[in-house]
Amino acid sequence: MKAIQLYYPPEWAHCYGCGYLNAQGLRIETYWHPERGESETRFTPKPHHTAIPGFVYGGLLASLVDCHSTATAAAAKAAAEGVSLEEAPLRFVTASLKVDFLKPTPLGPELRLVGRPKEVKGRKVVVETELYAEETLTVRGEAVLVQIGEGFGRSEDAPAGG
């Protein structure tokens, strides 16, 4: 199975969280499981991703939820449209990101994010994510992702980062 991010065309592959062309980035890989209607990302934080010793920095966890959600949105929209990402790479950016830190996330174990599309409507997809450290749910996220066109980032409305 090919990670959703690997379908991104090169011009969309520089993102700090999910761009395969960003050597300094997290380069997360998300997989879509059509039989479950869910996505999954696995990531093992490094020692420098520390918040307080022994626990993962929350900003990193938010980044994981963010980029996991954009990938989930692309796969969910493609599934809803009955197209493959190969033939129609769909481009989503994050409009809104909500992250609840339910418990401290231990630094060391591989983390597992499970995403489910809650709404697929027009250009908008809402994705719910659960993040587990081993079997413990430590973070819950909800993101609103909006599909964009080729001209995104080339106008005066371009975002400052991302």
CA–CA distance, 68 with 126 (Å, rounded to integer): 12
- Give DSSP secondary structure letters for 88-112: S---EEEEEEEEEE-SPPBSSSPEE
Query: Is the CB of 47 or the CB of 161 nearer to ligand DCC?
Result: 161
Using the contact rule CB under 6 A, the part of the chain among 29-37, 99-107, 116-124, 132-140 near ligand DCC is 116-124
Environment class of 93 (CB within 10 Å of its CB; exposed 0-12, middle 13-18, buried 19+) = middle
Lay out the site mask for ligand DCC across 54-73 (x = CB under 6 A, - = otherwise). Answer: ------------xx--x---
Using the contact rule CB under 6 A, the part of the chain among 21-29, 31-39, 53-61, 90-98 near ligand DCC is 90-98
Query: Is the CB of 85 or the CB of 127 nearer to ligand DCC?
Result: 85
Query: Is the CB of 66 or the CB of 111 nearer to ligand DCC?
Result: 66
CA–CA distance, 98 with 30 (Å, rounded to integer): 19
**Other Cβ atoms closer than 10 A to 8:** 23
121-160 residues near ligand DCC, rule: CB under 6 A: 121-124, 144, 146, 148, 159
Q: Indicate if the alpha-carbon torsion angle 83, 87, 91, 97 is positive or negative.
A: positive
CA–CA distance, 16 with 70 (Å, rounded to integer): 13
Q: Give me the least distance between CB of 134 and ligand DCC, in Å please.
A: 27
Sites of contact with ligand DCC (CB under 6 A): 7-8, 12, 15, 17-18, 66-67, 70, 74, 85, 89-96, 121-124, 144, 146, 148, 159, 162
